[in-house]
């Protein structure tokens, strides 16, 4: 700002939101009362809720079952992905399905499940459960996929996170993802 002032240009460095403090990074992140309100609202809306979405399709792309669930927990994206895979495995077994390919757009999640390492990580018990189920069901495999090829399963966790209860569909799916499922499936 001082370079502009040296050149005779009037500079107003007041915060554009509250008009009270000087617009600095510290002010925007910590001391601007109006910004605090927005941050607090966002934190309370998203606090400790993660969404989990599972979409089960057969080899032709026909939806066999789907679910949108929420969990209370403060997880990073990797742990949330591992929990989602675990929930997907349990849901598919509850549906009576034995041979399944489980996909995630997070390669690290698939690697953590497949490599058998990190048993002492905070989520090691979940990896152990997945691998125990995998040993008992030889038809299970895990693979990474690109996010763009799996748009329908990105909508489901958002639905789950924002819902007040877990939702399950047998041989069906929520209306909001029908077009996404069609678009995701290669013809």
DSSP state of 103: E
CATH T-level assignment (fold) for domain 49-184:
Nucleotidyltransferase; domain 5 (3.30.420)
Is 55 within 8 Å of 154 (Cβ atoms)? Answer: no
Residue 2: predicted pLDDT: 64
Kindly report the pTM of this predicted structure: 0.69
Residue 43 in this model has a pLDDT that exceeds 70? no
| Least confident residue range of 35-44, 53-62, 128-137 | 35-44
| Least confident residue range of 75-79, 98-102, 126-130, 178-182 | 75-79
- Regarding predicted confidence, which is higher, 102 or 184? 102
pLDDT tier at 42 (50, 70, 90 boundaries)?
low
Is 26 within 8 Å of 59 (Cβ atoms)? Answer: no
Residue 116 in this model has a pLDDT that exceeds 80? no
Is 90 within 8 Å of 56 (Cβ atoms)? Answer: no
pLDDT tier at 185 (50, 70, 90 boundaries)?
confident
Using only C-alpha atoms, what is the Rg of the chain? 23
- Regarding predicted confidence, which is higher, 187 or 74? 74
| Domain ranges within the chain, ordered by starting residue | 2-46, 49-184
Residue 56: predicted pLDDT: 92
The sign of the torsion formed by the CA atoms of 102, 105, 111, 113 equals negative
DSSP state of 130: H
pLDDT tens figures, 117-155: 666 777 888 999 998 998 888 889 999 988 777 788 888
What is the overall mean pLDDT for the chain? 84
């Amino acid at each position: 700002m001082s370079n502009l002032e040296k050149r005779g240009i009037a500079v107003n460095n007041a915060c554009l939101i509250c008009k009270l403090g000087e617009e600095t990074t510290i002010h925007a992140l910590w001391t601007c009362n109006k910004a605090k309100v927005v941050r607090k609202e966002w934190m309370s809306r998203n606090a400790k809720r993660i969404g989990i979405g599972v979409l089960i399709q057969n080899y032709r792309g026909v939806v066999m079952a789907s679910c949108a669930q929420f969990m209370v927990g403060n997880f990073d994206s990797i742990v949330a992905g591992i929990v989602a895979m675990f929930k997907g495995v349990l849901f598919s077994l509850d549906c009576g399905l034995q041979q399944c390919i489980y996909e995630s757009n997070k390669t690290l999640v698939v690697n953590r499940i497949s490599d058998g390492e990190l048993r002492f990580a905070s989520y090691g018990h979940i990896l152990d459960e997945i691998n125990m189920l995998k040993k008992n069901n030889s038809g299970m495999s895990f693979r990474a996929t690109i996010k763009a090829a799996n748009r329908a399963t990105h909508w489901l966790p958002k639905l789950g996170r924002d819902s007040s209860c877990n939702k399950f569909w047998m041989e069906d799916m929520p209306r909001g993802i029908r077009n996404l499922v069609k678009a995701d499936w290669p013809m």
